[in-house]
Amino acid sequence: MKKRKRHGPDEIIKKLRDAELAAGQGEDLAKILQRLEVSEQTYYRWKQQYGGMKAPDAKRLKNLERENVQLKKLVADLSLDNSMLKEIARGNF
């Protein structure tokens, strides 16, 4: 089995651009995907997520997604702390 590779946003955008150029020249999609070493599902997911973006925009999107996950964890922790303090204040411990 082939080891999975993580692609960075700039690399994804470059591969999408290469695929669009090759498709514009009439190359078969199967050959394009084989050359790019990605599955059809991955290609379409990338196209949906990064289609039309420039590399800096994609990097910014990834950073914002990472920050969003951190903020959600922080809110969850604070909510848990808040509910524990309310239980202690009521004397139900």
Nearest to 8 by CA among 72, 40, 56: 56
Q: What is the mean pLDDT of residues 55-61?
A: 82
For the chain, domain boundaries: 9-90
pLDDT tens track for 29-47: 999 999 999 999 999 999 9
* Residues 62-76 as b or e (16 or more Cβ within 10 Å = b): eeeeeeeeeeeeeee
pTM of this structure: 0.58
Query: What pLDDT, on the 0 to 100 scale, is given for residue 13?
Result: 87
- Residue 92: the pLDDT is 64
